[in-house]
Chain A
Amino acid sequence: MKTLWAYLLKYEFYNCLIFVFFCLIFINLKLYNKLSCIDKCHAFHLLKKQYYMAIINLKINGKDYPVDVDPQMPLLWAIRDFVGLKGTKYGCGIAQCGACTVHLNGQPVRSCSLPVVAVANKNITTIEGLSEDNSHPVQKAWIEEQVPQCGYCQSGQIMAAAALLSKNASPTEADIDAAMQGHICRCGTYPRIKRAIQKASETKPSKE
């Protein structure tokens, strides 16, 4: 309970206000009786959910997805099983392999180790939101260099590469190593990943 409060206070200040508001309403029954039936239902629902579950709004690829889940659920499982976007992968669950990487306000993060309550209303981009038509420079380079083999880790690799290039348009080999070091590819596509990032960085200036 203590950690839940900590999260609520840190990330869900607005929801906390609502929570306190409804608590007050419940105490003052006169006020409560003035509420319509639907409002009462909402009040009950919200109150219940604040204790056990929460309706958390996820902003993914520019769309709102209110999800009714355990606030501690890692973002990964909310994205996969509640939003239904399966491109973000489970690899290790302990932020060691990078398969679950998404962008949070443009930064690459490990969604397997990020409680969903911590990212409510923040801008999340998944592999599905990188482009409409495989036209992101990184995706294009991935095709040109024929990077994927089994393909399972590639969503995470691509998200990390895209984040790197958005900050650093012409990374050195050391920059690439540093940015991609947290990503495991068991098929061993690393040489091609490196080439593809270099290619994407070369093509970038002409694109923008």
Chain B
Amino acid sequence: MKVDNISRRKFLKLSGLTGVALTLGYYLPADAKEAELITAIDAENRGIELNSWIYIDVSGKVTLYSHRAEMGQGVYQSIPQIIAEELHVDLDKVNIVFAPGDNVKYGNQITGGSSSIRGSYKNLLNLSATARVMLIKAASNKWGALESDCYAEDGSVFHKLSGKKLHYGELVLDASKLNIPKNVILKKTSEYKLIRKPLQRQDTPLKINGTAVFGIDKVIPGMLYAMVERNPRLRGKVKSFDDSETRKIPGVKQVFVVRMGVFNTFREGVAVVADSVWAAMKGKKALKVDWDDTGFEHLSTDDIYRRMDEALQKEEGLSFLSQGDPNSIIQSAEKKIDVVYTTPYQSHSCMEPLNCIAHYQKDKVEIWGPIQAPEWVQDYISKELGIAREKVIVNMTFLGGGFGRKAFMDYPHEATMISKEIGAPVQVIWSREDDVTQGPYRPGVSYRCQGVVSDNEISAFKVSIAGQNNNHWRGGAKDVANRSSTEGFLKPYLDNIKNLSIVDIPFETPIPTMWWRSVYASTNGFAYESFMDELAVESGKDPIAFRRTYLKDERSRNLLDKLEEVSGWKNKSKGYGVAITECFGSTVGQIVKVSKNIENQLQIDQVWAVIDCGWYVNPDIIKAQVEGSIVMALGAATIHEITFKEGKTVQNNFNNYKMPRISDIPPIEVHIMENDSDAGGVGEPGLPPFAPALTNAIFDLTGKRIRKLPFELTKV
């Protein structure tokens, strides 16, 4: 399999325009509802930028030019599996090449929101089926046979009656001259031979022998290395620096102040450019920098949460959703639940620290790196440096983890600024300390949940939220409630709880925040589903039976049935907890079982997860994503948090921002719901339900309600 970067224009020069291939792509402008199928040559003539396209050459080899980055979620496997299914070729005949964006007309190229498959699968299916129909048509024309007497299999077209056979490569020239047929009939789910099968990922062989090229592994001729000493206070300028010791280190070439954009703010650092990573690292260590952080409040974590708590108790906030009259029911109720849930700030801490290569060449910048959002990088650098958009070329590599952090422009911007200063290509590598201390972080959020239960049902439900809104960092309006205030919470609850109010209390700190795997659902899920459990306990009903009162739709009911079935819920003993959340179009329910071991320490015995992601491609990749999400959630719930002291991040590496280890992982069983509803996300939805399922299980076992994350399992 080929891993390469190529621009469509370059690709057309190499191949398409010479007329030896069938190229077919789809074009989906940002404002259009349906994608248009079009040949690459027509696209070139019309000046259209295709979102994805396939290319079948005279040897019959199929290449997909894909617009999605691979950061672990398995796009490398899933997209070819879709293509091969409808094109009727062997999976190993499909190559995949990253197609970096180079035009404003290009569709959404951001690998985020668990959208790689759900955003494109219908178009990819249609694209592949259409190409197959064109190849069949070309063959039937050649043979003078009826189209209905011909069929495609294993990359060839066969004539049923005569047994004649032509492979795709022999047909591409003729097929490329045909009109593109409309409304091609797609296969039924039951007819799939590749989709829904647990086929092995094609990138695995590259990732077990060191040959997969991540951003940090990329080498450009003449490239220098840089590391940057950064302000430990997340904001501010360089007052002065002393580089006398740094310059003594052999290999250090230049030392200078570099400015990097972080959303709408800027941050300065001191760059050390050297001929090796190690020299740059040593040089960085030897620097003495005096920082000016005027205007940056020296906050500590305690201050942040105290202020949140005050805001939750006193402030009215902005209404996100209001139905019925929960406020008066709560006020007049004799017995009510009024509790606060707290979730921490978290760092993405991808195993591959941030890094980026930039080569600035006056009117052009070329970038190589682990990048989730090439389009945003293009936009930002074009704007900041006054370079034409198409002259900002972003090449994507494998990503050593992303989790949202690599969908950001700061590190490519910084690399570009350094390359501009030195006039040479440069790779900027962030140390692990930079990666952990600099953010932006997932915001910590506090929730005040008030509820009243009467006659075994919820009579009033109110959730007030105080936490930083990521949108504010992107210039979003501050006088409207966070549009993600109920992200994670199942929609049927909103439909079926009559007296309900969701309030967002605007909360600001100078700490930069951004999206983190599953975004708001990662914190919302804990509050909403813990609260739901408290209400269930109050009602005296079984937690799943209680949820059934509100989750009446067929998909929710099936998911609850499945959860009960796989976990043996109906015959359960003590120590079981359940939580169900929705995230990026998929619903995941989890049941956690806990017990105390002989040393009277709490342990997690088992996790059962059921995901309903609608139409799906590869069950094994889905299971892997859910397993991984649970491990990440376990860390965020019971092991690590980012805290601040006097405006500085306290944690700086894996010795104090600790990670789950192999011995911490309980057995995890993942089940997938079978249905043909629209595909939902897979990379993130497995994360949010874990923490509440765990704390609900702990309550079931011990009667102790945990409302603050993270907590130490051994101290429960």
* Residues of A bordering B, CB below 8 Å: 52-53, 69-70, 73-74, 77, 80-82, 84-94, 96-97, 99, 126-128, 130-131, 134, 139, 142-143, 146-155, 158, 176-177, 180-181, 183-194
Chain B residues lying within 8 Å of A189, measured Cβ to Cβ, are: 624, 627-628
Number of A-B contacts (CB under 8 A): 189
A81 and B276 contact, CB distance less than 8 A: yes
Knowing A134-B205, A191-B627, say if A153 contacts B653 (CB, 8 Å). no
- Classify the secondary structure of A's interface with B: loop
- Most chain A beta carbons < 10 A, residue from B350, B401, B630, B660: B401
- Chain A residue nearest to B213 (CB atoms) is A86
Given contacts A127-B209, A128-B209, 14 further A-B contacts (CB under 8 A): A53-B250, A77-B277, A77-B281, A97-B654, A127-B210, A147-B204, A148-B208, A149-B72, A150-B401, A152-B401, A186-B632, A190-B660, A191-B627, A192-B624
Knowing A149-B624, A150-B400, A177-B662, say if A93 contacts B432 (CB, 8 Å). yes
Q: Given B200, B432, B620, which contacts A92 in the complex, CB threshold below 8 Å? A: B432
Q: Given A81, A126, A184, which contacts B210 in the complex, CB threshold below 8 Å? A: A126
Chain A residues lying within 8 Å of B282, measured Cβ to Cβ, are: 70
In the assembly, what is the distance between CA of A194 and CA of B668, in Å?
A: 12
Knowing A53-B250, A149-B624, say if A128 contacts B210 (CB, 8 Å). yes
In the assembly, what is the distance between CA of A190 and CA of B631, in Å?
A: 8
A186 and B667 contact, CB distance less than 8 A: no
A190 and B204 contact, CB distance less than 8 A: no
Chain A residues lying within 8 Å of B564, measured Cβ to Cβ, are: none
Rounded to whole Å, the gap between the CB of B429 and the closest CB of chain A is 7
A139 and B209 contact, CB distance less than 8 A: yes
- Chain B residue nearest to A150 (CB atoms) is B72
* Residues of B bordering A, CB below 8 Å: 71-74, 200-201, 203-214, 216-217, 219, 225, 250-251, 276-279, 281-282, 349-353, 398-403, 429, 431-432, 620, 624-625, 627-632, 653-655, 659-663, 665, 667-668
A143 and B204 contact, CB distance less than 8 A: yes
B400 and A73 contact, CB distance less than 8 A: no
In the assembly, what is the distance between CA of A185 and CA of B653, in Å?
A: 15
In the assembly, what is the distance between CA of A10 and CA of B216, in Å?
A: 33
Chain A residues lying within 8 Å of B201, measured Cβ to Cβ, are: 146, 148
30 A-B pairs within 8 Å (CB atoms) are namely A77-B281, A81-B276, A87-B209, A88-B210, A91-B654, A94-B654, A97-B351, A130-B209, A134-B209, A143-B204, A146-B200, A148-B201, A148-B208, A149-B624, A150-B351, A151-B72, A151-B398, A180-B662, A181-B662, A183-B661, A183-B662, A184-B351, A187-B631, A188-B628, A188-B660, A189-B627, A190-B661, A190-B662, A191-B627, A193-B662
In the assembly, what is the distance between CA of A70 and CA of B629, in Å?
A: 41
B661 and A152 contact, CB distance less than 8 A: no
B208 and A158 contact, CB distance less than 8 A: yes
A89 and B203 contact, CB distance less than 8 A: no
B278 and A74 contact, CB distance less than 8 A: yes
B659 and A186 contact, CB distance less than 8 A: yes
Knowing A93-B432, A150-B399, say if A155 contacts B210 (CB, 8 Å). yes
Q: Given A77, A149, A152, which contacts B276 in the complex, CB threshold below 8 Å? A: A77
B212 and A187 contact, CB distance less than 8 A: no
- Chain A residue nearest to B433 (CB atoms) is A93
- Most chain B beta carbons < 10 A, residue from A143, A151, A191: A151
What 3 A-B pairs come out closest when comparing CB atoms?
A87-B210, A188-B631, A152-B400
B627 and A151 contact, CB distance less than 8 A: no
Chain B residues lying within 8 Å of A152, measured Cβ to Cβ, are: 214, 350-352, 400-401
Chain B residues lying within 8 Å of A89, measured Cβ to Cβ, are: 214, 216, 351-352, 400
Q: Given B214, B353, B401, B662, which contacts A187 in the complex, CB threshold below 8 Å? A: B401
In the assembly, what is the distance between CA of A184 and CA of B74, in Å?
A: 20
B662 and A194 contact, CB distance less than 8 A: yes
